[in-house]
Amino acid sequence: MQPINTTSSATLSESSFVQAIRSIPVTAWAFLTRFGRTSLFMIRLRHWEYWPFEVVYFPIFIFHLWQSVKARSLFYFSASNPSIETGGLFGESKADILAGISDAYKPITQVVSASADAETVFSLMQARGLVFPVIAKPNVGERGWRVEKIESREALNSYLATTPIDFLIQEYVDEPLELGVFYYRMPGQSEGVVSSVVQKEFLTIRGNGYDCIENLIRQNERAILQLPVLTRKYGHQFHEIPAVGEIITLESIGNHCRGTKFLNANHLITPELTRVFDRISQSIDGFYFGRYDLRCRSVADLYAGNHIRILELNGAGAEPAHIYQPGFSLREGYRVLFHHWRVLYHISRENHRRGVPYMTFREAFRLWKQTNALKSTKP
């Protein structure tokens, strides 16, 4: 009988154990990498552009409290744009803001009362020369809530049935370039600053000739985050296989919350661009700080001030949205945000010095209640 080599067996067992231990980090990393590609939590965790608003803005809120102490008002921002309710931080009317912009720079827009029936709405559209497709959006709302591209009379009927608040019907502007241009100007000065330009890239998929629409969506992290909405809209087409190179636009609303990719286009900032927005902004009474969301035909037209259509003008609540480009540094993002909140503070204080009152607590509470009431109507 051959003696058992216990030393060799022990060595072998120990070696196997060590190899197993060493393989754990590799295995765990492989699992996390694979899991992270499709997990909503991991996608959001890896990209701060998807973090909850409250998380990203917590340091800004602390900074705002300090500014409020210096201004002796929690609502100092309301003086930033005297012609816009709350300065444009919340509860402002899109229709009222658009009314202050020259017709040369805005699409045809019709306000529709929540009580209007379908025939009244179609009559209003005909009177204004509005034809499908059109954009429908709440008169008071934010972050893409209930903004829809309406392609037909049936779709408008459906929108009417699910939108029990006043809304706008806006001419659909089919220009290739969609931008957000952030502009501010100190009161009393004739020249302002274009501090941010974001270019918007709509959520799309590209066919490869063998993957179906559902698989193509699941290969796109940005689309995965919109999967519940996309399933409702395109679920009946998920089995279809797009041709090689075929591009399908999944979302035609240029909002980050709806899957639009925001790209840093600050390279477009030039003296020519600033002069264009000086001219536009000076014609808007009581506007000093905010972001123009617009579509235009080309960069050359943008610099010349031609073929520009302003879809919305956002005031104190606007963001320099170029910071949401994928891969943009969080540290640099905070630097940009803090800078803009400092500017907001100084503009507000200067307007207040010139006689513009700050919003009172009672006024703020009333508007807050109204805004919350609107949000509670979400279908």
CA distance 214 to 238: 5
Contact indicator for 194, 274 with CB cutoff of 8 Å: yes
Within a domain: 5? no
- Residue 40 domain-assigned (yes or no): no
Same-domain check for residues 99 and 115? no
Check whether residue 62 and residue 93 sit in a common domain.
yes
For residue 169, give both structure tokens.
């019907």
Reported pTM = 0.87
Residue 346 domain-assigned (yes or no): yes
Instruction: Specify if 226 maps to a domain.
Output: yes
Q: Is residue 125 part of a domain?
A: yes
> What is the number of domains present in the chain?
3
Q: Do 122 and 240 lie in a common domain?
A: no
Residues 228 and 149 in one domain: no
Whether residue 152 is contained in a domain is answered as yes
Which sign, positive or negative, has the C-alpha torsion 194, 342, 68, 257?
A: positive
Phi, psi of 113 (to 5 degrees): -75, 150
Same domain, 183 and 291: yes
298 and 335 part of one domain: yes
Do 188 and 311 fall within a single domain?
Answer: yes
In a domain, 1, yes or no: no
The answer to whether position 60 is within a domain reads: yes
The DSSP element (H or E) to which 179 belongs, if any, is strand 177-184
- Report how far residue 378's alpha carbon sits from residue 141's, in angstroms, rounded to the nearest whole number: 11
Question: Both 231 and 193 in a single domain?
Answer: no
Same domain as 128, residue 233: no
pLDDT attached to residue 164: 81
53 and 183 together in one domain: yes
Are both 180 and 308 inside the same structural domain? Answer: yes
Q: How far apart are CA 365 and CA 17, in angstroms?
A: 65
Q: Are residues 340 and 273 in the same domain?
A: yes
DSSP assignment string, 137-170 = EESS--TTTT-EEE-SHHHHHHHHHH--S-EEEE
> What are 377's two structure tokens?
């109507």
Beta-carbon contacts of residue 289 (< 8 Å; ≥ 6 apart): 80, 81, 87, 88, 183, 184, 185, 315, 316, 318, 343, 344, 347
Residue 303 backbone zone (phi > 0: left; psi -120 to 50: alpha; other: beta) = alpha
Boundaries of domain holding 297: 48-105+173-199+261-375
Q: Can you give the pLDDT of all 379 residues of the chain as single tens digits? A: 444 344 444 443 445 544 544 454 444 444 444 444 558 889 999 999 999 999 999 999 999 999 999 999 999 999 999 999 999 998 899 999 999 999 999 999 999 998 898 899 999 999 999 999 999 999 988 777 789 999 999 999 999 988 888 999 999 999 999 999 999 999 999 999 999 999 999 999 999 999 999 999 999 999 999 999 999 999 999 999 999 999 999 998 888 998 999 999 999 999 999 999 999 999 999 999 999 999 999 999 999 999 999 999 999 999 999 999 999 999 999 999 999 999 999 999 999 999 999 999 999 999 888 877 766 655 5
